[in-house]
Amino acid sequence: MIIFKHTIKNCRLKSSIIKSYDHIPQIEFIGHASTTILNKNLDERVAYITRFQISNNHRYSGNGSYFLNNIEKYVDKNFGVKNIEFIFQDHRLDQTGNFLFKNDYEKNPDNDYYDYLNLEKDVWKINHFTKKL
């Protein structure tokens, strides 16, 4: 059985997905995510997913999409979120980008930016993908 858990504290949603087995008393970690929910303006809330991880054993099994869809439904139902922004580092662009395109997200290059270690060297390009619910 797949179990979702969501907890919120100070506009920060922590979500996890685990697998429970009926015949043995143990659970298996599948993934976790961090989402910040903010008011973009007076009548619009936005969810920013900044950490989303699925364990290596469960990638390409459909559990990542199942988990992402559950987060989307949860923030829509409980907070009235209609826009989601998924933000991640460039070194994961191919794998994560394909996953997001498959889940109806669009690349938003206008919001991409660089995270700097110091003023001389960029460390990561930060990618933005968006989806309207």
Q: How many domains does one find in the chain?
A: 1
Does residue 65 sit in helix, strand or coil?
A: helix
Q: What is the pLDDT of residues 20-49, one digit of tens each?
A: 887 777 788 999 999 999 987 777 889 999
Query: Is residue 104 pLDDT above 80, yes or no?
Result: yes
The tokens for 90 are: 């460039």
Terminal-residue alpha carbon distance, the chain: 27
* Adjacent-strand bridge partners of 45: 39
Identify the pLDDT of residue 92.
66
**pTM for the model:** 0.84
Q: Looking at residue 111, what is its pLDDT?
A: 66
Q: Is the pLDDT assigned to residue 15 strictly greater than 90?
A: yes
We report the CATH number of the domain holding residue 124 as 3.40.630.30
Neighbours of 19 (CB within 10 A): 15
Q: Which domain holds residue 100?
A: 2-132
Q: Which one, of 92, 47, 87, 90, lies nearest residue 70 by Cα?
A: 47
